[in-house]
């Protein structure tokens, strides 16, 4: 009788212990391109990144002509402003990469996005009201720093929005934002530059009100 009880207990233990086959969980398949593209969060992420990158492509076209036509800067001052913009941009890319894991990504991205929107608006106001040149230069450098931070953080953002197994593919697709920003940013900036008054292939010196209004509208 004792033997039968022992065998029944062993049988119960065997039945209660799950086998490897029963505990094995099939890994979830990686998402395809079309599955990611069909997601609303893909288009929200891509659209948001494109909006944040767009001012950078316009600045490349507008910085020099704006300083000449609005602030009457010479070539040396324009070169110094471009150099300062690039130095601020480079320093911020390095700093963001070093410190990206020390802060909450969503908070940092929100702060940069709001700050960038404010700076772009102030750049438009500074051009429209013809604020001192050094104010425009400072705002441009600040915008360059924020643009640099965005370019570092948006790749990390993809690993927050998607699972690790899908994040690499999603990141490649979200890079579509670069094309969108380049097309609309450069295209609309070029339309603004078309308002510049030219004589004999040279910009007219003096107050170019149409250009000033167009550039201010582009920033705002």
Asked if residue 117 is part of any domain, the answer here is yes
pLDDT tens column, 153-181: 888 888 888 988 898 899 999 999 999 99
Q: Coil, strand or helix: which one is 135? A: helix
Q: Which domain holds residue 138?
A: 39-219
Asked if residue 1 is part of any domain, the answer here is no
The pLDDT of 116-130, averaged and rounded, is 89
**What are the tokens at 94?**
């390095």
Q: What are the backbone angles phi and psi of residue 203, rounded to the nearest 5°?
A: -65, 140
Asked if residue 24 is part of any domain, the answer here is no
- Of 22-36, 58-72, 98-112, 179-193, which range is least confident? 22-36
3-state helix, strand, coil in the chain (%, to 5): 80, 0, 20
Asked if residue 180 is part of any domain, the answer here is yes
Asked if residue 19 is part of any domain, the answer here is no
The pLDDT of 192-196, averaged and rounded, is 83
pLDDT at 121: 92
Check which CATH number belongs to the domain holding 115 and give it.
1.20.1250.20
CA–CA separation, 61 vs 50, rounded Å?
A: 18
State pTM to two decimals. 0.75
pLDDT at 129: 86
pLDDT at 69: 76
- Cβ contacts of residue 141 below 8 Å, gap of 6+? 84, 85, 88
Asked if residue 92 is part of any domain, the answer here is yes
pLDDT tens column, 40-54: 999 999 998 899 899
Asked if residue 13 is part of any domain, the answer here is no
Torsional sign, CA 130, 131, 134, 137: negative
**What are the tokens at 193?**
């530059």
Domain count of the chain? 1
Whole-angstrom CA distances from 14 to 3, 5, 20, 23, 213 are: 16, 14, 13, 15, 82
């Amino acid at each position: 009788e004792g033997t039968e009880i022992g065998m029944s207990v062993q049988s119960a233990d065997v039945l209660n212990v799950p086998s490897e086959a029963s505990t094995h969980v099939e890994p979830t398949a990686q998402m395809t391109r079309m599955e990611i593209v069909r997601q609303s969060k893909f288009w929200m992420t891509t659209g948001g990144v494109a909006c944040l990158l767009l001012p950078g492509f316009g600045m490349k076209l507008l910085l020099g002509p704006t300083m000449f036509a609005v602030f009457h800067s010479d070539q040396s001052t324009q070169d110094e402003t471009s150099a300062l913009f690039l130095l601020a941009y480079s320093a911020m890319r390095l700093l963001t990469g070093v410190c990206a894991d020390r802060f909450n990504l969503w908070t940092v991205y929100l702060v940069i996005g709001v700050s960038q929107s404010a700076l772009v608006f102030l750049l438009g106001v500074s051009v429209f009201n013809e604020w001192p040149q050094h104010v425009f230069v400072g705002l441009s450098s600040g915008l360059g720093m924020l643009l640099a931070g965005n370019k570092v953080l948006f790749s990390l953002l993809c690993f927050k929005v998607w699972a690790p197994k899908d994040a690499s593919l999603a990141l490649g697709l979200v890079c579509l934002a670069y094309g969108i920003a380049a097309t609309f940013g450069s295209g609309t900036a070029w339309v603004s530059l078309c308002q510049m008054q030219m004589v004999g292939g040279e910009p007219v010196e003096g107050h170019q009100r149409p250009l000033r209004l167009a550039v201010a509208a582009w920033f705002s």
